[in-house]
């Protein structure tokens, strides 16, 4: 709250208004708002955006139960897992998109996301590593800006880039114009971002506010002098002086009221979507392990009814897995969405990086057994870690349908609030994770798929989706990983030979962000471009091909 800080802050505001007025006068455009959502740990994404067969004309794939997205039933009991499609705009998409979630405005179909959705699949790095692969997708080329840095370099907002919580080694922010990312704690990111400009409540604070009146007057005089100049930019600036003054005075005066409403709203919407039951082909009937499918896990097979969370936990044959979601929630996702809504709609930042971590409080009665099952002893409120090496196919269908329902519900709520402020049409939201997943045909888990990555973009800048780019291999891998894998494959006539690298999606995202220069395009051309509010494929829709060569 020091006068020096306030003076500097208001000067920044003045410069921001001036810069934008000059840009408007010169008919310049700035980059679209960018919201990057990272899911660390690499969750199984076949339910959400790692689409494989997308049309009836695609060839048949060898079935792999670990890519299942629904249950099959016999006589009211689960008999197995399968792949269930939903058709939208002549595209086959996963069963998740046929489901509804509850937003603050009422019930909404998850399929509403599809009209503004692009899936980019079939690329890879060729090397393992959680953090390295995540960072590589954000900054795929040395010596040039990262995606978040690229948007910051094109930004004239007060804070060019914010990140909450800190991504650590999973992040790479690179700017060529000396811009910085504001790394914030997730428990109170907005106050941390705007500390010093808040509405004081104490006597000392009110006194300080009065002492800061000179700073406000100085900023107003600064704006007025710039607006009095005789040039097109000054005329535009002068016309908006009253709005500029209102913004300066407002500061974050409405922040407390906003957070008191927004954070519980997002927490409720995401949690309700995660915990929903009676979902078609998922949780209409009891989800109980068939004792014939449960094997002794000591030194042997892991389980299609198991879950890995540090140790291997097993579901007993008398436990209905629907009870596992009573208190489940997605870590830090609601908090990030609330922050993103505020900073985008208040024009405070242009590049926003948030996270959606594990499914916490996934409740499992513990079973200890060396030669079979005993009565459950104790219980565990688990973190369903997303690095699911030993989470079985049957658990995967239930747990990740719940996870992505929460992801989708929070996203739909954010989009509705951006639309209300007319900012969604100038915003792109990207979902990334460390890598894809290689899935075992024994239905007992998965491993790292760093050559079968996927990312997706949702933006109001285009409609007519869903769109899919990037080829995947029909053959997949041999041995324990045979069957449907989505292994990345080459793209005909593309300027990257062989399997594309993370440069391909980065170049495509940069194109959609409308930055003034795409630093990746010489090495990897954008796979789509926006024309007349639709996406046009530059190298053809993504397809299933015979080999991964």
How high is the pLDDT of residue 100?
98
156 close to 20: Cβ distance less than 8 angstroms: yes
Residues 433 and 382 in one domain: yes
Tell me the residue ranges of DSSP E strands in 426-543: 427-433, 436-439, 446-449, 453-459, 467-469, 471-473, 488-489, 528-531, 534-537
In whole angstroms, give the CA distance from residue 509 to residue 257: 34
- Does the pLDDT value for residue 415 go beyond 50? yes
Tell me the average pLDDT across 262-287. Answer: 96
How high is the pLDDT of residue 68?
93
DSSP state of 464: S
How high is the pLDDT of residue 197?
53
Instruction: Show which of 215, 250, 285 is a domain's final residue.
Output: 250
Q: Which two tokens stand for residue 223?
A: 């704006």
Q: pLDDT by residue (tens digit) across 212-248?
A: 455 555 555 665 665 566 555 555 555 555 555 555 5
Residues 210 and 235 in one domain: yes
**CB proximity list for 194: less than 8 A, separation 6 or greater:** 251, 252, 255, 348
Instruction: Show which of 212, 235, 250 is a domain's final residue.
Output: 250
Residues 135 and 225 in one domain: no
Tell me the average pLDDT across 480-492. Answer: 87
Tell me the average pLDDT across 74-89. Answer: 90
**CB proximity list for 157: less than 8 A, separation 6 or greater:** 16, 347, 348, 349, 350
- Does the pLDDT value for residue 409 go beyond 70? yes
Three-state SS sequence of 259-316: HHHHHHHHHHHHHHHHHCCCCCCCCCCCCECCHHHCCCCCCCCCCCCEEEECEEEECC
Residues 84 and 120 in one domain: yes
Tell me the average pLDDT across 495-503. Answer: 96
Tell me the average pLDDT across 323-337. Answer: 95
Higher pLDDT, 256 or 49: 49
Instruction: Show which of 250, 285, 320 is a domain's final residue.
Output: 250
How high is the pLDDT of residue 195?
63
Q: Which two tokens stand for residue 183?
A: 């790394």
In whole angstroms, give the CA distance from residue 511 to residue 430: 13
Domain region containing 18: 1-29+200-250
> Which residue's entry shows tokens 């007349």?
532
**3-class secondary-structure state, position 45:** coil
In whole angstroms, give the CA distance from residue 175 to residue 178: 6
pLDDT bucket at 157, cuts 50 / 70 / 90:
confident
How high is the pLDDT of residue 373?
40
**Helix, strand, coil abundance in the chain, percent, nearest 5:** 35, 25, 45
- Mean pLDDT over the full length of the chain: 83
Residues 236 and 162 in one domain: no
- Residue 205's alpha-carbon distances to 35, 200, 201, 260, 389, in angstroms, are 34, 5, 6, 22, 54
Burial-class residue 82 by CB neighbours within 10 Å (0-12, 13-18, 19+).
middle
526 close to 496: Cβ distance less than 8 angstroms: no
Q: Which two tokens stand for residue 150?
A: 């690229």
In whole angstroms, give the CA distance from residue 175 to residue 181: 9
Q: How many CB atoms lie within 10 A of CB 387?
A: 18
Residues 424 and 409 in one domain: yes
Residues 25 and 43 in one domain: no
Residue (of 445, 444, 449, 446) closest to 433 by Cα position: 449
Phi and psi angles of residue 447, each rounded to the nearest 5 degrees, phi first: -135, -175
Residues 366 and 244 in one domain: no
- Does the pLDDT value for residue 294 go beyond 80? no
**3-class secondary-structure state, position 339:** helix
- Residue 338's alpha-carbon distances to 165, 188, 258, 408, in angstroms, are 13, 11, 9, 15
* Pairing status of strand 159-163 against strand 117-123: unpaired
Tell me the residue ranges of DSSP E strands in 106-145: 106-109, 117-123
**Domain total of the chain:** 2
Q: pLDDT by residue (tens digit) across 433-483?
A: 999 999 988 888 899 999 999 999 999 999 999 999 999 988 777 788 887
Residues 37 and 169 in one domain: yes
Tell me the average pLDDT across 261-279. Answer: 97
pLDDT bucket at 79, cuts 50 / 70 / 90:
confident
Question: What is the helix (H) or strand (E) element at residue 411, kind and residue range?
Answer: helix 393-420
Residues 98 and 150 in one domain: yes
466 close to 114: Cβ distance less than 8 angstroms: yes
Its pTM stands at 0.87
Higher pLDDT, 459 or 292: 459
pLDDT bucket at 204, cuts 50 / 70 / 90:
very low
Question: What is the helix (H) or strand (E) element at residue 362, kind and residue range?
Answer: strand 359-365
How high is the pLDDT of residue 422?
96
In whole angstroms, give the CA distance from residue 314 to residue 372: 11
Residues 314 and 419 in one domain: yes
Residues 245 and 320 in one domain: no
């Amino acid at each position: 709250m020091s006068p020096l800080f306030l003076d500097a802050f208001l000067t920044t505001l003045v410069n921001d208004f001036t810069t934008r007025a000059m840009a408007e006068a010169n008919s310049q455009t700035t980059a679209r708002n960018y919201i990057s959502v990272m899911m660390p740990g690499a969750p199984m994404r076949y339910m959400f955006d790692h689409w494989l067969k997308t049309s009836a004309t695609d060839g048949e794939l060898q079935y792999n139960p670990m890519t299942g997205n629904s249950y099959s039933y016999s006589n009211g009991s689960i008999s197995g897992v399968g792949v269930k499609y939903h058709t939208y705009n002549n595209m086959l998409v996963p069963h998740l998109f046929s489901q509804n979630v509850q937003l603050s405005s009422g019930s909404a179909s998850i399929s509403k996301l599809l009209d503004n959705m692009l899936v980019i699949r079939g690329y890879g790095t060729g090397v393992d590593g959680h953090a390295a692969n995540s960072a590589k997708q954000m900054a795929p080329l040395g010596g040039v800006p990262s995606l978040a840095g690229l948007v910051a370099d094109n930004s004239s907002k007060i804070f060019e880039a914010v990140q909450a919580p800190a991504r650590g080694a999973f992040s790479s922010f690179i700017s060529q114009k000396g811009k910085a990312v504001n790394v914030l704690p997730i428990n109170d990111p907005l106050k941390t971002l705007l500390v010093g400009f808040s509405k004081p409540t104490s006597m000392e604070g009110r006194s300080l506010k009065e002492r800061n009146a000179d700073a406000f007057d100085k900023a107003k005089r600064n704006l007025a002098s710039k607006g009095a100049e005789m040039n097109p930019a000054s005329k535009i600036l002068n016309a908006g002086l009253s709005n500029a003054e209102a913004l300066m005075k407002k500061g974050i005066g409405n922040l407390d009221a906003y957070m008191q409403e927004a954070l519980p709203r997002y927490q409720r919407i995401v949690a309700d979507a995660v915990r929903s039951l009676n979902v078609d082909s998922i949780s209409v009937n009891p989800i109980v392990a068939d004792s014939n499918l449960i094997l002794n896990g000591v030194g042997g097979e892991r389980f299609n009814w198991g879950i890995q969370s540090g140790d291997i936990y097993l579901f007993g044959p008398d436990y209905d897995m629907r009870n596992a979601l009573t208190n489940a929630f997605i870590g830090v996702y609601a908090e990030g969405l609330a922050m993103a809504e505020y900073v985008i709609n208040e024009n405070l930042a242009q590049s926003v990086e948030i996270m959606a971590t594990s499914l916490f409080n996934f409740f499992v009665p513990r079973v200890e057994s060396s030669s079979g099952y005993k009565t459950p002893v104790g219980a565990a409120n688990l973190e369903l870690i997303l690095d699911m090496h030993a989470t079985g196919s049957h658990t995967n269908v239930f747990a990740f349908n719940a996870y992505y329902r929460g992801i989708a519900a929070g996203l739909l709520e954010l989009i509705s609030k951006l639309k209300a402020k007319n900012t969604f049409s100038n915003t792109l939201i990207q979902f990334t994770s460390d890598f894809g997943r290689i899935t075992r045909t024994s239905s007992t888990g998965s491993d790292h798929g760093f050559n079968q990555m996927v990312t997706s973009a949702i933006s109001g800048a285009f409609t007519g989706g869903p769109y899919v780019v990037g080829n995947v291999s029909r053959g997949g891998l041999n041995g324990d990983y045979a069957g449907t894998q989505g292994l990345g494959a080459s793209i005909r006539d593309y300027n990257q030979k062989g399997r594309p690298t993370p440069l391909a999606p980065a170049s495509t995202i940069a194109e959609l962000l409308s930055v003034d220069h795409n630093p990746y395009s010489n090495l990897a051309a954008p796979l789509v471009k926006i024309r007349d509010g639709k996406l046009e494929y530059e190298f053809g829709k993504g397809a299933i091909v015979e080999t991964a060569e």
